[in-house]
A and B are shown apart, each in its own frame.
Chain A
């Protein structure tokens, strides 16, 4: 029940030449263990998560999936032409689950009410993020993946979503990338730092935070941590 990265490397062609994003990264992620990955801006955090979701194939090395990985919160998994109920049912059936309890859970947790039989465009921005975060945690995955945003939406949803993630963490794995030591302390069991294309693991979260503080641009970390809601990606653009 693990996801394994075997000497994975990935580079991109940029106008300035080839840019090596990941170099020979090997790691094992397993259920029941939360791994927080610290990385500065443009250090390859998103690439790493996308390799884990299968959106990107590595140039060298391979990823072996022996467990069900989630779609990262807020990625474009909602089809705008289907109602929210139909979208949740599609996702549930995709993982061979009975859609009914999952629809009910999402409707209650994200307090959708009448919106359940509407399309995504009928939702306000807050409703939308509530819905998208809930959907990604509604399905019982072995390992949940998050790129920057673990929870979101307005209070008090945000707090209850945090509770949901903590509950999921007990039985499933969580792999997330962040720049924030705060999130690391809250959600990670062990820490890793992504620097220079390499993923360095630390036995404890605090050691990872210290190591990251030493090597990263400190001002950037300080600037980026206070308001985590800024980190939420724009999910309106991603349309299936």
Chain B
């Protein structure tokens, strides 16, 4: 049994390494864009806030406040987006019996996870270096637990996406729009608890909002968390992963043609 598990890890690991090799040799500008694009996106958001002269919604640094929202958001969006390619990409490996679509989905997400995490840890260190002492989480376990939940959610949603994309390629574009919309509704720019109650109720259904709220509790001692419901988030994680796996099994006959 041990060998079977080791096989799965080996196959996913090889696919991640292969992704690193092929994506970076296709075009260097293209692979650099992988990192530059989220950084630019963040800079634009920050500049808008800075130019508007907005004070931070919470804490002393507006930069850190935005970053603590943007990092879990981007991690989620990039992983769930990349995983959506998985099943379509797996067609390239259809002749190789031991590579399953699920391996490719997980490998795509993992690749995105590793590259983004590296950049973000670096970014927080830079913030800390620049004098924002809050950039090192006071409760690292809360920050990491929140990220882990966010990543798990991203894999669950990504797996569902991968199945839907395999049937309707248009879904990737629609999902791209949905993630943009999520940026506005997940509390990247504001503290959800400070919103009027009626908006708060609608937003509380968004699982990503809970990820960001949870993540911020790792950085701010007194962050208000009335809205935060960890078990609701974990239920989302469990249900999406389960549903994604069921979909993969149910649709594989139709997709593999």
Contact = CB atoms under 8 A, between A and B. Distances in A.
Interface of A: 12, 50, 53-59, 65, 68-69, 71-72, 75-77, 79, 81-82, 86, 90-91, 93-96, 238-240
A82 B21 CA distance: 7
Interface residues of B, number: 21
A71 B22 contact: no
6 contacts: A53-B97, A57-B253, A65-B97, A68-B97, A71-B97, A94-B99
Most central of B14, B25, B95 by chain A CB within 10 Å: B95
Interface in B10-63: 10-11, 14, 18, 21-22, 25-26
Contact of B14 (A65, A71, A94): A94
B141 interface: no
Nearest to B96: A71
Contacts of A56: 256-257
Contacts of B22: 79, 81-82
A94 B96 contact: yes
Contacts of B96: 53, 71, 77, 91, 94
Contacts of A54: 94, 97
A81 B22 CA distance: 6
Contacts of B131: none
Nearest to A95: B98
Nearest to A57: B253
Interface string B87-107: 000001111111100000000
Main SS at interface, chain A? loop
A55 B22 CA distance: 23
A69 B97 contact: yes
Contact of A76 (B18, B26, B95, B98): B95
Contact of A79 (B11, B18, B98, B252): B18
A77 B92 CA distance: 8
B7 A77 contact: no
Nearest to A147: B95
A215 to B, nearest CB: 28
A93 B14 contact: yes
A90 B18 contact: yes
A82 B107 CA distance: 18
A21 B154 CA distance: 39
A53 B52 CA distance: 60
Nearest to A96: B10
A86 B256 contact: no
Nearest to A86: B21
Contacts of B14: 90, 93-94
Nearest to B94: A55
